[in-house]
């Protein structure tokens, strides 16, 4: 899976309505919250086959930080 494809899956699953990119700040995204965090944790597991710790996700400030958690699994 490509990095951009995974971002699209996040946008769809979390139902983000605004235009975002890797520089978007997570706390400024209206739909970002605890349910979004759990949803993205599941996406990492089902799409990339990795278990990401919730604490690692909470340390992410931007979309780039979030996507970087899956770096070793992108094609």
Contact 66, 40 (CB under 8 A): yes
Split the chain (75 residues) into runs of 10 and give each run's mean pLDDT: 95 96 96 95 96 94 97 89
pLDDT value of position 75: 81
Beta bridge partners of 62: 25
Q: How far apart are CA 10 and CA 43, in angstroms?
A: 7
Fold category of 3-73 in CATH: 1.10.1200
Q: Residue 22 and residue 65: Cα distance in Å, rounded?
A: 8
């Amino acid at each position: 899976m490509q990095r951009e494809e995974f971002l699209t899956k996040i946008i769809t699953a979390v139902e983000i309505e605004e235009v975002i990119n890797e520089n978007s700040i997570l706390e400024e995204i209206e739909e970002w919250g605890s349910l979004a965090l759990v949803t993205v944790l599941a996406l990492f597991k089902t799409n990339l086959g990795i278990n990401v710790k919730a604490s690692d996700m909470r340390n992410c400030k931007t979309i780039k930080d979030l996507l970087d958690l899956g770096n070793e699994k992108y094609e």
